[in-house]
Structure formats: structure tokens, C-alpha cells
Structure 1
């Protein structure tokens, strides 16, 4: 494509080193669709005769069919998907095909292709995320009345509804949904017409191509457009944060599944055994899911490091910008292929979970708040209950099994009304503040989450309707 300027052919080693065909061939349909928009605009502005535009578009669509049928074998010597398709076009319709690239640089062409490709990919990712959140909402409803220990510092803290646990993770993924929507918005701009960096002297109509490809708006500055990769970073940031949330959920389930905890039940179909120990049931799928966070975080750091300090505008460093991006998209799809299905089959052994309450100490905060309601300053109540806890430990007495006389000997303010409050279930039911763990608050929270999820679904459906054909 630049043979007119150079006296020597490109060295074969350079061709192999600089090619990106192994990376960008997956975007062939998007590249063709961007070219269709471009050629339509050239005809619209009079830069291309209507019959020439029709010939080019017809042949582009034929090339798309060749690719879909596996009849098109790209050549490494042509470097990338863009030049392979243009070369094939010229083979099919001669000099007319050579007119396609007027008013366009590979800088804005590649940018357009990736954005077209990414919009569809992100909508597919959304479907996986929506399925994951919906599954967690189902689990929250299923376990709304199941009481289990809640932990801080991985030490028993207060009793909670298991549904509240599921909703805690659902809320994190709901924030990821918002991040995904924001990433989509960043991608949803048309760069076509920016040229190499400065626009064009030709009378291009950028609004025409924007509308033809269904983008929400046009990028504002041609130099910035071909140079920045903020939209990639937004996608990778979503993926990295999502990965940390998947890792935390996986870690929780792995811990509660251990023999030492033992109150979470994982399906056999999502576990593996040992090659030497017949008794083993290993949570390998969850461990692999936990490990994916490293890949997703690494992809973000990879691109951040690449773009740091690059001068305006385009630099060849950016050719590899999509490697980490595409790996992350593939990684996300892998996560969604197993995680929702695994969660649907997770069970809870409430009886085993409640054995952890045997010493009753998980109810200590309930006693302190009981005293607060009787006028005892909280810090004093905290100290009184702390001494009672120490007495229970030293005398091997469960806190929730103390008699009224024992309570009054330890805490004179205690009355008979304290005793019926000291059960894990009652503790959960009484935590009825907004966002709290009580079944009443939990079901209200689930309802609000369903409404928000429905709004996200509507937003994504509207985006999908704007995608052009061929993608």
C-alpha cells in the first residue's frame, strides 16, 4: 500500500513482526460494514458515482459471504484484515475497488471497525452479566428466610439471611452493570472521517456515516480520535472490577464449602476429584473463576502501560491495543458460560450453619443495642456486654442460654424481655433498617434491584436495535 514511496520490498521478518491478521481477522464483518457506510457516504457527497458505489457495496457483501463460508483465505503479506478485504475488492472489481479508500486512513478505518465490533460484543457481554445478576436475585429469594453466620475479618460477626449474602454480591454486579453501560457509551461514537489525524480536504459527511452505522454521536477532535484508547480502558476497567467481584464471590463459596465451615453445598457437576485421594471434592471451577481476576486486571495494566506517554497522534504501539482487550472479552464469556449455572445449583445446610452459633456470642451486639434502648450509653453498654462475653467464655456458658438471674448478675439493667430476643432468627428479623438483613428489607431490596435490572435491559435492547446489519 506504500510501494510508491519505497525502493525496497518489506523484509519478510518485518512482515511477520508487524502483521496483525492473527488478531483482527475476527473483525472482518465489522470492517466490511464500516466500508459499506463509507462508500455510501462517498456516493451521497458525489465523490463516487452511484453505479460505482453500487458495484463496490455489492462486492463487499459478496466478500462477506466468502468469509462466512470459509472460502476467503487471508494473506499474511497483506498485514491485516483491512488490507486483505480491500485487496480482494480490487481483485473483484478492479480500479473501481481502488476508489474505496478515498477520504479514509487506516487510522480512522481501524478505529471505526473496532467500535462497530465492540458494540455487539459488549451487548453480548451484557446478556451474560444480566443472567448472572438474575440468578443471584433468584438465590436471594430462595434463601430469604435461611439464617447463616455473617463475617467480618473472617470471624463470626452477626447472623444474617443467606438471601442478604446473595444480594450483597448482586449489588456489586449491579454496579458493574452501570460500568458496562458507561463503557458502551464511550465506544458508541463514530470516528469515520477523521482521516490520519487532521480530517480531509474532501467534502466528507461524517453525520451521514454516523447515522448509517447507528452510532450515537460523532467524535469531536480528529487528532484525539485516532490517538486515544480511553474507550478500551473503560471496557477493561469494567472487566477488571467485575473480575475482582467474581473472585470475591468465588472465595466466599470456596471457604464456606470447606469441611471446617461445611454449610455450603456445591453441585458435583461443577467440582472435580483427586487423582490420588478418592474422598476429595474440589471446587476447581470456583478456583479457576477466582484466578481469572488476574488476567482481567493484567489486561487493564497492559494497555495503561502501552498508552502512557505516547505522543499525539497515532503511533504503531497501538496496533497491539486489542490483544488484551480481546483476551478479556473471551475471558468474560468464559466466566458467564459457567458461573450462573453453578450458582443455580448451590445449596445451603442451614442446620450445619447454625451449629456455628452454639456459643451464642454472635448475639452480643443485640444485647448491647437492647441496653441502648434502655438508656445505657453505647460505650458503657459495649463494655458491660464485653465483660459478659468474657464470663461466658471462662465459664463455658452459651451467651444465649443464660438465665435471667445470670444476666442480671452480669448486667443489672437486663430484664426478662431480653431473653426472647436472643435467637439468630430473631436477630435477623429485627435488623429492619433500610438495606438491612431482615426478610422484609431483603425482599424490598430484591424488588428495587429487579426494577433497576429491567431498566438496564431496556437500555441494552435499545442499543441492539441501533446496530447496523451484517454485524
Structure 2
């Protein structure tokens, strides 16, 4: 048994062990030790399959399963410390099994390669990781619907080019991000489906001469289907790219949301009050309340985007099938998983605690001529072509700027002087609340439409949870 510890399990054709620096260079334990639970689960399923096809007997199966269970307990209790000389999680667990069971332990690798083994471990790991992220994302989306419902009657300026544009319901704003994150949820769901395929049995690259039952391990491991081509199986990292793309678009959306709220926290806007528990102060200036959680979310986005690029560049020129370059596929993915999780754990209570400052928002509703489009469309309803009404109202805005007035300050004579078609009923549209509710096209900002969106969003959440 001593040689098992000192020599690699693949060392038969070599006359010497790897140089110490090579062992350090080629080891992957700092990353793939995360897979120990999945590796043991896959080994148990593989052992059961070997018994199913009569390559090991019932007694051997029982010993292998017991040995694997004991190894998992040793890891959990910190008694089994992996050895760098054994390179990776697979070799460490197999070597310990052989140490415990002798030649019987060596049977566990019958018909199996580390190539399909790591693919199995990784897919099992990613299924759990994606499922956890989706559950957290659903809770975050639920918070957004609650905020939309609470803020449906709060009117704020909507912006294009960061300039005042038209009035909207704040509930409409929150639902805008709900739908962005709903698409992110779909992308994570697609990544989960792409991941949920059994690679075990593909071997090193060409399958096996042994009568392996791949559907047996598929059922044992809870995969929905089995990979179709062994060459593709051991070289495939598309499912990781799909996850990283979903993670990247999610982070892009959180970054945009964070940027909005950071702007709204400034003294110049002062639209919202973020919860103190997600802000920090200055070491020098006692007056400061900095939206650090939002800034960090915005900053961490670049790391996840880089993770996607990292893996894309890694595989862009790899020939079939397995190449050791693929050992480096874990760092970017683990970084993205960690970042997405912590961002969701922070943003969910942060958004729940954001409060609008209606008294601070109110003066902004009189800036930027938010109702200019309403006035133009008032004229459209009077029979004037829109391009003509656009010019009429543009000239009226220019007049108001020169006179330092808003639409609400104009006399009827001034309205008439702008265009004789204006009547007393123009005054009826000079309300931001009414302007919001007039925008009742499907998907518009009217409070009735926002209520419909909220109801639909909640039904989608309920359906997803089921």
C-alpha cells in the first residue's frame, strides 16, 4: 500500500515520479476538492452500475459503498487531508479507497476515466449551484413585485439620456427590473437544462469495450438525459459558458439597477433613502452616507464578465478531446457563482429597505417639461398631424424657458397665442398623476397597467416555485 501514496495511479509507464514543481504546477486540488461530495456520489453510482452488469458481486458492491461512505465521513471530520502528489480529488479518493480495501478498491475505476469523472462531478455541482441561485433570484424578484405594489402611486420623472422625459409610476420602474431579472431567470433555467445531462460512461474519449449501462447511472444520479457522443462529452464546456452568460447578463442588470439608485441617492437627486445597514461612512467626513453595497455590486460586475471571457478564451483553440487546459475551467466559474450569490444576498434586503422621498421628488416633477408629449398628443386628438404638434410644443417650451415658466404657469392667452386650437380643456391634462394613468397601453406606466404587471409577475413566481 505504500507505493499508492508515493506514486501516481497512472505511473505504470513512467520511470520516475513528476518533479516536485511539476506536482505543484499540475495539481487542481485547490479547485476540484470542492467536488468531493459529487465525486463520491458518482463513484457510488458507478459501483452500482458495475454490479448491475455483473462486473462486481453484491459483497464487493457493499464493501465499495461502505468504503466510499467512510471516506466522505473522514473528509467531513477533517481526518482525510488531500495530497498534492495525487493531483486531484479523483485520485485522492480512489487512493484512499484502495488503501482501505486493497485490490477491490482498484475496481472502482473499471470503465471510467478522470475525463468523464470530472465532467460528471462538475455537472452535479453546477446543477446544485444553479438551483440555489435560481431560488435566491426568485426571492429577489418577489421583493421587486412588493416594491412595485408599495410604490405604485409614487410618481417620478422617467429619464432618457439621463434627462427628464415623461412621468412614470415608481411601481412601473421596479417592474421594469422585474422583467429584466425574469429573463435572467429563464437564462439560468436554460443553463440548468443544458447541464442536466449524464456524461458518465463516455470514458477517456471513446466510450468503453465493457458493457456499461449509461442509462443506469443517469437514473442513479438524477440526470434528465445522457450525452450522445463521447468525444463531445469530455470536451464539452458549453454548459459552463451558458451559465457564465446567464451570470453575466444578471450582473449587468444588477449593475444598471445599482447605477440608477446610486444617482438617486445623490444630493442632486435625493429621490430615495437606502437602508443604513447597507451603507458606510467616511473615515474623515462624518457627514457622509455612501451607497457602498450598490457601488460594490457595480464593481463586481466586471469580474463576472471577465469570467465568461476567461473560459471562452481558454477553449477557443482546443482540439478534441480533453486537454489539460480544461483544468483551468473552474476558477472563473467558482468566482462567478460566489459573486452572484453574494450580490443576491445583499440586494434582496437592500431593495426591500429602500424608501422613496416623495417630498424631494415633487419639485423634479415640475422640471424638464415632463408633460410636453401630452400637450403634443392633445393637439393630435384635435386633428393636427404629430410632426406639426411636435414643432408647436417645441416652440412653446422655448417660450416658457425664456419666460422662466412652466406649463402650469401659462395663462389661457399664452396658450392661445401659441396656437388658437388650445381650449380650456388643456388645463385638465396638466397633472402628472393623470398623465401617468393616460399611458394605459399594454405595458405602459398607468397604475392599472402596473397592477396587471404585478399580478402577472406574482403568478410567474408562484408557477416557478411550484
Q: Which bracket does the TM-score occupy, shorter chain normalised?
A: over 0.9
8 Å contact from structure 2 (residues 164, 368) kept in 1 = no
What are the residue-to-residue correspondences of 1:31-430 with 2, within 5 Å? 31-359=39-367, 361-430=369-438
8 Å contact from structure 1 (residues 360, 400) kept in 2 = no
Deviation for aligned residue 1:455: 2.3
Does residue 12 in structure 1 map to residue 20 in structure 2?
A: yes
- Over 3 Å counting, the alpha-carbon distance change for 1:359 and 1:245 in structure 2 is closer
8 Å contact from structure 2 (residues 165, 368) kept in 1 = no
Quote the Cα distance in structure 2 between the aligned partners of 1:317 and 1:203: 31
Q: Unmatched 5+ residue regions in structure 1?
A: 459-471
8 Å contact from structure 2 (residues 158, 167) kept in 1 = yes
Quote the Cα distance in structure 1 between the aligned partners of 2:426 and 2:296: 47
8 Å contact from structure 2 (residues 244, 307) kept in 1 = yes
87-96 or 358-367, which deviates more:
358-367
Does residue 2 in structure 1 map to residue 29 in structure 2?
A: no
Quote the Cα distance in structure 2 between the aligned partners of 1:8 and 1:70: 31
8 Å contact from structure 1 (residues 40, 53) kept in 2 = yes
Aligned position for 1:463: none
Aligned position for 1:465: none
Q: TM-score, normalised by structure 2?
A: 0.97
CA deviations on 1:138-162 (whole Å, 9 max, x unpaired) are: 1000000100111000000000000
Where 2:371 maps in the other structure, the secondary structure is helix
Quote the Cα distance in structure 2 between the aligned partners of 1:28 and 1:182: 26
Quote the Cα distance in structure 1 between the aligned partners of 2:248 and 2:189: 15
357-366 or 183-192, which deviates more:
357-366
8 Å contact from structure 1 (residues 359, 399) kept in 2 = no
Aligned position for 1:461: none
Quote the Cα distance in structure 2 between the aligned partners of 1:342 and 1:143: 16
CA deviations on 1:406-442 (whole Å, 9 max, x unpaired) are: 1111121111111111111111111111111111000
Quote the Cα distance in structure 2 between the aligned partners of 1:166 and 1:115: 34
Q: Unmatched 5+ residue regions in structure 2?
A: 1-8
Where 1:215 maps in the other structure, the secondary structure is coil
Aligned position for 1:468: none
Quote the Cα distance in structure 1 between the aligned partners of 2:139 and 2:356: 21
Quote the Cα distance in structure 2 between the aligned partners of 1:69 and 1:339: 34
Aligned position for 2:5: none
Where 1:149 maps in the other structure, the secondary structure is strand
Where 2:164 maps in the other structure, the secondary structure is strand
8 Å contact from structure 1 (residues 360, 399) kept in 2 = no
Deviation for aligned residue 1:204: 0.2
Deviation for aligned residue 1:372: 0.8
Aligned position for 2:464: 456
Deviation for aligned residue 1:359: 4.1
Where 1:356 maps in the other structure, the secondary structure is helix
Quote the Cα distance in structure 2 between the aligned partners of 1:380 and 1:357: 26
Quote the Cα distance in structure 2 between the aligned partners of 1:31 and 1:396: 73
Quote the Cα distance in structure 2 between the aligned partners of 1:455 and 1:177: 13
Where 2:33 maps in the other structure, the secondary structure is helix
Deviation for aligned residue 1:319: 0.5
Q: How many residues are matched?
A: 458
8 Å contact from structure 2 (residues 116, 200) kept in 1 = yes
Structure 1 vs Structure 2 CA RMSD: 0.9
CA deviations on 1:243-273 (whole Å, 9 max, x unpaired) are: 1000000000000110000111111111111
Quote the Cα distance in structure 1 between the aligned partners of 2:17 and 2:42: 30
Where 1:150 maps in the other structure, the secondary structure is strand
Quote the Cα distance in structure 1 between the aligned partners of 2:190 and 2:117: 23
Q: TM-score, normalised by structure 1?
A: 0.96
8 Å contact from structure 1 (residues 359, 397) kept in 2 = no
Deviation for aligned residue 1:360: 6.3
8 Å contact from structure 1 (residues 400, 423) kept in 2 = no
8 Å contact from structure 2 (residues 279, 292) kept in 1 = yes
Deviation for aligned residue 1:400: 2.4
Quote the Cα distance in structure 1 between the aligned partners of 2:32 and 2:286: 46
Aligned position for 2:447: 439
Deviation for aligned residue 1:342: 0.5
Aligned position for 2:4: none
